[in-house]
Structure 1
Amino acid sequence: MAFFPAALVAGCTVGPDFHRPAAPVATAYRAADDVAPAAGAAPQASLGEGPQAQWWRAFGSDALDQLVDQALAHNESLAASDATLAAAQAQWRAVLGRRAPQIDANSRAEQQQVNLAAFGFGASPALGLDGNPDFHLYSVGGGISYDLDLFGGLKRQAEQSGSLALAQQRQTEAAHLALAGQVVNQVLTIAAIRSQMAAQQALLSDDARNLDLMQKRQQGGEGTAVEVLSAQAQLAADRPALPALQQQLAQARATLATLLGMTPDTLGKTDFTLEQFALPAQVPVSLPSALVHKRPDILAAEAQLHAATAEIGVATARLYPNITLGATLEQGAPGLGDLTANAFRGYDLFAGLTAPIFHGGTLKAQREAAVARARAADHTYRQTVLTAFAQVAELLHALDNDAQGVAMQQDALAVADRARTLSRKSFDVGNSGVLQVIDSQRTWQRASTALVQARAQQFLNVARLYVATAGGWVTE
């Protein structure tokens, strides 16, 4: 190897080295002139390190905590993601092993019958050989080979495989985070549906009471058939809403059961109500510069970019020569007892050189493709960051708007409830008709449903914000 330059023999690593993308210079998610939240409105965002692990405990429900823990332990999709991660990590170790010397052992036992006549020899009774003598041969040995990896092709392959394993790890972390968010979402959805069902049942009770009152007034000669029919029509119109809500509840329960890794019939009770959950006064949100180093999907895109960068080095190394060193040692003898004798020993030492001469442009094209894939991975990473920032910004706006919306709906419900009470009193003393009572009940029902929906949306958006900035899931 004296004809190789010293630097070549020592080896080098071709291709670009990966450098972690710089953190964004942004210090906020929203423009400075955005409308600030009303004083005292809760919950409010608190920019800092972001939420800690097990962020769902902020809702103050032991039952919710248990369901999330159960999902993380038994969800089938999550188990598949864990298995995929184990496979990626094993593949990385396999690639790393190729950089070490490769040692193999072999043994062989043979029996051969030689046709001496085919080589112009006849039988030799004096030597105890007939025309087709049998021979036995036993051999044992081994060999070692080592790829010098002159231009770092194996090193870049290991770097690429390790980055892909890290990307899968980040994707698995993202799957854990997403699963927790889905469980919280379904539990809150079930609570909202049950609250809507309670409001609908209260409305049906009012409808039934109105109908009973109208029938009694008609029987007493004070009411009319029109009033009775109006009350019957309203009760009939309100009844279909309850089965529709029951269907939504069944769907939400089935989805929750699937997330927990069980069948719907084994789910058990899910009698949640929104009153069982607490809204946190403060929602910790990661700073933009910290979010890119903590959010799993961004870290997965970063690892994919690292793998694509390493692939350029792999493709570049194929353009240059490579040397493999090796040695073999073998003992071969006609009898087992002779295998350790020096007379039957053989060995060889070798150095093999391979160099690409002409491949029709394939190797260069492969490198160009690797460079293009690295550019694509870079753009994908940047898009992932932008999407994450937009999502957080949207949810921060929702945090403010939801608080104002809930307050407005509470005021609207209070007014509707007062109007319903006054209209019933007015009807009882004969100052108004049943249509005014029914109309006030419709207004109250709409306000009640709107408040439930607004509160549910507020809970859901808070949970989404935790997921969007749940950097506490990843420990660096």
Structure 2
Amino acid sequence: MKSSHLFQTPFPAKLSALSVFVFLAACTVGPDFKSPDDSTSQHYDQQAEQRLGQSGEQHIQFGKHITGQWWSAFRSPKLDQVVRRAIDGNLELVAADATIRQASSSVAAAEGALYPQVDFGAAAGRQRTHNAKDPAINNFYAIGPRVGFDLDVFGGNKRQVEEQQAFTDLQKRRYDAAYLKLTSDVASQALLVASANAQIQAVDKLLANDSKNLELVRAAHINGTTTQIDVSLAETRLAQDRTLLPPLAQQRDAASHALSILTGKGPADWIPPPFDLADFTLPANVPVSLPSEMAHSRPDVQQAEAELHIASAAVGVATANLYPKVTLSASLLQAASGNGGAALWGFAAGITGPIFNGGTLKAERQAAVEGYNATLAGYQQTVISSFGQVADTLQAINHDAEEFRAQEDALRAAETSSRLNQQAYAQGENSILQVLEAERAYQQALLGYIRVKTSRYLDTVQLFVALGGNSVGVFDQQVASRETRNPL
């Protein structure tokens, strides 16, 4: 029996060949992804930071991180209840969860290419032999397994797995962003409901005063102490103030319907609790992380980084396509033809590599490189935009505080005027019309006060959102929580 060529090869030569294959198998071409460097910016808006850092009523804690559930800073049990309900029932989060699981399955599918592929085949038929001494018709069959393995010498398959893993990370960050948007939308809509209810109460009192004023003016006109012009003016005020109610009712109803939808229910299937501004407390201390930490705090920045990772892996895949592919295959068949049968085995190694393709592969790699450069610019723009959003919100909170103080002064002045007019009327020094006019001015000042107070709450919500709301990684946290509650 003759020995095969493999066994005729000297052992040192076989060892050298094996070493070459091991070395090549460990080679992965293309760039190894590295997260972009953190920003060197130290401030968002120094003027706003300085003012809010010194403010006594609501100030920022620069360099601190948001911890826990950010909406709990408003100390509203009703809000906590609705947010939890929304997180459990929101359909967009359900869809995002399923998308992540789909992406994870794609990773597993890509990882399969890193392992040997084992197939089973069988064939049977009937054949006629023409060139034999005695032509004959015979039955034949072959059955057995076949193994194929791509050595992935230059790491193309590994880069494809990396690309799919980065895509899964992207879906997770999208879930985090959807979670942050959901919680901020719930808080904002709840505040809009509370604001509308407070303004409706103030307008109701304003309309009551307008009606009393109109009755008195009409009575005075009958007595001849006023003119028709005064009556017309009172009627005009009442009619104008009545126009304030429908928009406020629409704001309340639309915000209430939005809360139902955010929890995954129709407006007729679930009605949120009746929020009031007294249910909320303005956070006195708001932690504001440093700009250099923004890349780790906001889901949209993390999304942009995941997209950059995908683009980097795509460059690796396109680079690997420029190099040869080495495959190994083996088969073991039980075959028979006519009256004879035998066990057949085979082993083969193959290599294919590009020689000429009209520059397609190089162009594809260059396109991948340019795609990476474009994605990098997009990432940098996302980071800069996040700084701008924080700076805008800080200034908004700063200006809200200024407007709120002015509105407080106006409300106190109107309240003092109303009280003095009531005292003067009790002493017979002025008319009831003056009292009602002062009360009307107070209710109008109260409306302005409610609107500014609402703006302070809403802008504080937006600041939490602009800072990321401690939502990065929330999907992984929820998965861990589910596994803890439901162990196998």
Q: TM-score of the superposition, structure 2-length normalised?
A: 0.85
Residues 98-144 of structure 1, C-alpha deviation per residue, up to 9 Å, x if partnerless?
11111122345x354x567xx489999xxxx8xxx673x55431111
State the partner residue of 1:47. Answer: 62
| Inter-CA distance 44–144: structure 2 relative to 1 (3 Å threshold) | same
SS at match of 2:68: coil
Specify whether residues 471 and 146 from structure 1 end up closer, same or farther in structure 2 by C-alpha distance, changes over 3 A only: farther
The counterpart of 1:301, out of the listed 286, 299, 304, is 304
Pair 1:235 & 2:233 matched: no
Query: Unpaired segments of 5 or more residues in structure 2?
Result: 1-12, 477-488
Partner of residue 8, structure 2: none
Report the count of equivalent residues: 458
The DSSP-based 3-state class of the residue aligned with 2:470 is helix
The separation in 2 between residues aligned to 1:33 and 1:392, in whole angstroms, is 10
Q: Work out the CA distance in 2 between the residues paired with 1:180 and 1:120.
A: 81
**What residue number does 1:205 align with?**
208
Q: Which residue of 2 aligns with 1:176?
A: 179
Mapped to 1, the partners of 2:438 and 2:122 lie a distance apart of 95
Partner in structure 1 of residue 481 of structure 2: none
Preserved CA contact (<8 Å) 1:45 1:282: yes
Alpha-carbon offset, residue 147 of structure 1:
0.9
* Matches of 2:272 and 2:32, distance apart in 1: 55
Cα pair 1:26 1:289 within 8 Å, conserved: yes
When residues 353 and 291 of structure 1 are mapped into structure 2, their CA distance, relative to the original with a 3 A threshold, is: same
Aligned to 1:10: 23
Alignment of 1:183-194 (within 5 A): 183-194=186-197
1:92 lines up with 2:90 in the alignment:
no
Which residue matches 2:454? 456
Q: Given residue 89 of structure 2, which amino acid in structure 1 is its aligned partner? A: H
Matching residue of 2:369: 371
Decide which moves more: 214-223 or 355-364: 214-223
Q: Is the Cα contact below 8 Å between 1:52 and 1:470 reproduced in 2? A: no
**Structure 2 partner of 1:382:** 380
Label 1:8 to 1:104 Cα distance change in 2 as closer, same or farther (>3 A): closer
2:209 and 2:436 in contact (8 A); partners too: no
1:50-129 to 2 correspondences below 5 Å: 50-108=65-123, 110=124, 112=126, 114=127, 119=130
Matched, 1:283 2:283: no
Distance 1:46 1:279 in 2: 15
Residue from 368, 375, 391 that aligns with 1:393: 391
Q: Distance in 2 between matches of 1:39 and 1:19?
A: 39
Distance 1:235 1:407 in 2: 29
Matched residue of 2:114: which SS? coil
1:198-277 to 2 correspondence within 5 Å?
198-218=201-221, 222-277=225-280
Q: CA separation of 1:421/1:215 partners in 2, compared to 1, >3 Å: closer, same or farther?
A: farther
SS in 2 for 1:105: strand
Between the aligned partners of 2:42 and 2:193, the Cα distance in structure 1 is 37
Contact 2:301 2:383 in 1 (8 A): yes
Alignment-derived partner of residue 351 in structure 1: 349
Q: Secondary structure at the match of 1:324?
A: strand
SS in 1 for 2:309: helix
Q: Distance in 2 between matches of 1:323 and 1:231?
A: 92
Distance in 2, Cα, partners of 1:121 & 1:72: 78
Q: 2:324 aligns with which of 307, 317, 321?
A: 321
Q: In 2, Cα distance between the equivalents of 1:252 and 1:86?
A: 32
Paired with 1:10 and 1:59, the residues of 2 have a C-alpha distance of: 59
2-side partners of 1:269 and 1:224: how far apart? 49
1:345 CA displacement: 1.2
CA RMSD of aligned residues (A): 3.0
2:403: which partner in 1?
Answer: 405
Q: Tell me, yes or no, if the aligned pair for 1:49 and 1:290 is still in contact at 8 Å.
A: no
Are 1:44 and 1:400, in contact at CA under 8 Å, matched by a contact in 2?
no
Please state whether the residue corresponding to 2:60 is helix, strand or coil. strand
**1:155 aligned partner, one-letter code:** K
Q: Comparing 45-54 with 343-352, which one deviates more in the overlay?
A: 45-54
Instruction: Report the Cα distance in structure 2 between the residues aligned to 1:4 and 1:378, rounded to whole angstroms.
Output: 41
Find the counterpart in structure 2 of residue 362 from structure 1. Answer: 360
More deviation, 68-77/37-46: 37-46
Code of the residue aligned with 2:80 in structure 1: it is D
Give the secondary structure class of the aligned counterpart of 2:268: helix
Q: How far apart in 2 are the matches of 1:183 and 1:473? A: 15
TM-score, normalization: structure 1? Answer: 0.87
> Equivalent pairs: percent with the same residue?
37
Cα distance, 1:234 vs structure 2: 1.7
**How far 1:347 sits from its partner (Å)?**
1.3
